């Protein structure tokens, strides 16, 4: 089955029309996709697969960065915040809230969903 898709304000929506054999989407789209397309079932109507590769994995990852301005009013507190959100505990809490791929492999290994299909595919690509 070929899936056509669109990304609207309400999330990812798909239909069985249009020649879209595959697309590159992030792990965060899974919940939107399943919520907005209850008739499409993972493993039956659509699936998750690793990106094609040659000799090495190269993934189109973006990212977020945290920093402290030289003009920050509370630089010590800002540093404590950054240390927390980049710690094992902070990243684990963030991942549980967002479903994003953890920045620490130790967090991925500690969360069962990243050790089973489909999220293990995203983790393997990092």
Is residue 74 assigned to a domain? yes
The reply to whether 74 and 115 lie within a common domain is yes
Is residue 38 assigned to a domain? yes
* pLDDT tens sequence for the chain (126 residues): 334 444 454 444 555 555 456 677 777 777 777 777 788 777 777 778 877 777 777 666 666 789 999 999 999 999 999 999 999 999 999 998 887 888 888 999 999 988 888 888 887 777
Is residue 40 assigned to a domain? yes
Cα–Cα distance, 121 to 51 (Å, whole number): 9
Give the range of the structural domain holding residue 101, as residue numbers without chain letter: 60-126
Is residue 104 assigned to a domain? yes
pTM of the model: 0.65
Is residue 52 assigned to a domain? no
Return the pLDDT at 52.
74
> In which element (H, E) is residue 13 found?
strand 11-15
The reply to whether 2 and 64 lie within a common domain is no
Is residue 54 assigned to a domain? no
Cα–Cα distance, 70 to 83 (Å, whole number): 17
Is residue 53 assigned to a domain? no
Phi-psi region of 43 (alpha: psi -120 to 50; beta: other; left: phi over 0): left
């Amino acid at each position: 089955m070929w899936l056509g898709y669109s990304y609207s304000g309400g999330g990812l929506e798909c239909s069985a029309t249009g020649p879209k054999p595959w697309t590159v989407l992030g792990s965060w789209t899974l919940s939107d996709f399943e919520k907005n397309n209850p008739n499409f079932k993972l493993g039956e109507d659509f699936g998750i697969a690793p990106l094609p590769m040659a000799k090495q994995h190269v993934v189109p990852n973006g990212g977020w960065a945290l920093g402290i301005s030289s003009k920050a009013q509370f630089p010590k507190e800002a540093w404590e915040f950054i240390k927390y959100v980049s710690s094992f505990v902070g990243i684990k809490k963030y991942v549980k809230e967002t479903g994003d791929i953890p920045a620490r492999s130790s967090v991925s290994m500690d969360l069962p969903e990243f050790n089973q299909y489909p999220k293990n595919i995203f983790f393997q690509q990092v």
